[in-house]
């Protein structure tokens, strides 16, 4: 939880820095360029910031600075709560001061930074005094509590799903592949004493990226269709090609291209093209 809150604070701080640079420069700041060694400072725009808005911005940046420094010092005075409430109020549109759109974005960024400081303080110090909370602060606390509950709930769910023995998915899959491979060896030996290993290879390939019996059946069915039609197509292509080696070589390249091109689209088509390619090769090699 603390790691999550630190990450939130880092993101909010960098976003606030970007919004400040954008508001005070002639064009949108490129933070990637600013990170480079010896990067020039952004070009300052003309004095288009209203005095009142500028004074408010400077005041609230100093207030955010104070909030960050004193958040973990045990200071829970009314003054600090008042500063926190004011900064969190910028998360509501009606509390934004009249200014340009870029400057209002900066105030929104100050509000999000104050929220990240509040979340980090709650994560480090536990529950806080809520007697001086404004509606904006109360809403921020509710959002943080909901996020904390979601994080805790995810951890409990992960612990509950941790199984042992055959209830563990990886162990169950390993047993299934072992049994399937044994059956494939026996069945492949009965079909061909020289090419029995193709049955075992098919068993392994069908089990890859499957997590249920239904997925295994669907993938096996699609591979069966692609293999049967691919064998017929490979033998037919070999008969048409005859002894023209370069023509066969070109067809093999085309089938390899089609195999990888169709892989994301259809497992049946991929099986068809790879089997046709192998059928062509094996027929030409007798």
Same domain for 156 and 33, yes or no, is yes
pLDDT tens readout for residues 195-243: 889 899 888 888 888 877 888 888 889 999 999 999 999 989 988 888 8
pLDDT band at 259 (very low <50, low <70, confident <90, very high): very high
Name residue 25's beta-bridge partners: 44
In this predicted model, which residue has the larger pLDDT, 83 or 126? 83
Same domain for 87 and 109, yes or no, is yes
The mean pLDDT of 115-128, rounded to a whole number, is: 79
Domain end position, chosen among 161, 196, 226: 161
Same domain for 61 and 89, yes or no, is yes
| Sequential DSSP letters for 100-142 | -HHHHHHHHHHHHHHHHHHHHHHHHH-S---TT--HHHHHHHH
Which one of 27-31, 73-77, 79-83 scores highest in mean pLDDT?
A: 79-83
Domain count, the chain: 3
In this predicted model, which residue has the larger pLDDT, 227 or 103? 227
Same domain for 152 and 174, yes or no, is no
Domain end position, chosen among 176, 208, 240: 208
Q: Is the pLDDT of residue 47 over 60?
A: no
Same domain for 34 and 100, yes or no, is yes
Same domain for 128 and 170, yes or no, is no
Name residue 44's beta-bridge partners: 25
Same domain for 275 and 215, yes or no, is yes
Q: Is the pLDDT of residue 154 over 80?
A: no
Average pLDDT, the chain: 81
Same domain for 283 and 204, yes or no, is no
b/e per residue 268-281 (b: at least 16 CB within 10 A): bbbbbbbbbbbbbb
Same domain for 116 and 214, yes or no, is no
Domain that includes residue 33, residue range: 2-161
């Amino acid at each position: 939880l603390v790691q999550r809150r630190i990450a939130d604070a880092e993101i909010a701080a960098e976003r606030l820095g970007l919004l400040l640079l954008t508001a005070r420069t002639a064009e949108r700041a490129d933070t990637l360029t600013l990170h480079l060694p010896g990067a020039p400072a952004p070009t300052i725009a003309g004095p288009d910031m209203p005095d009142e808005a500028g004074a408010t911005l400077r005041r609230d940046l100093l207030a955010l600075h104070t909030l960050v420094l004193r958040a973990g010092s045990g200071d829970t005075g009314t003054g600090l709560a008042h500063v926190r409430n004011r900064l969190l109020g910028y998360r509501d549109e009606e509390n934004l001061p009249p200014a340009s759109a870029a400057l209002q974005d900066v105030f929104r960024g100050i509000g999000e930074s104050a929220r990240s400081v509040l979340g980090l303080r709650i994560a480090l110090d536990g529950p806080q005094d809520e007697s001086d909370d404004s509606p904006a602060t109360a809403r921020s606390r509710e959002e943080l509590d909901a996020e904390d509950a979601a994080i805790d709930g995810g951890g409990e769910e992960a612990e509950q799903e941790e199984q042992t023995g055959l209830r563990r998915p990886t162990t169950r899959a390993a047993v299934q592949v072992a049994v399937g491979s044994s059956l494939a060896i026996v069945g492949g030996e009965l079909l061909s004493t020289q090419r029995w290993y193709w049955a075992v290879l098919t068993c392994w390939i069908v089990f890859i990226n499957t997590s249920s019996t239904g997925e295994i059946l669907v993938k096996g069915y699609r591979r069966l269709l692609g293999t049967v039609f691919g064998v017929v197509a490979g033998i037919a292509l070999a008969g048409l090609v005859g002894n023209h080696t370069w023509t066969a070589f070109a067809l093999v390249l085309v089938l390899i291209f089609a195999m990888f091109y169709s892989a994301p689209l259809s497992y049946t088509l991929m099986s068809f093209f790879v089997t046709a390619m192998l059928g062509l090769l094996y027929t030409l090699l007798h």
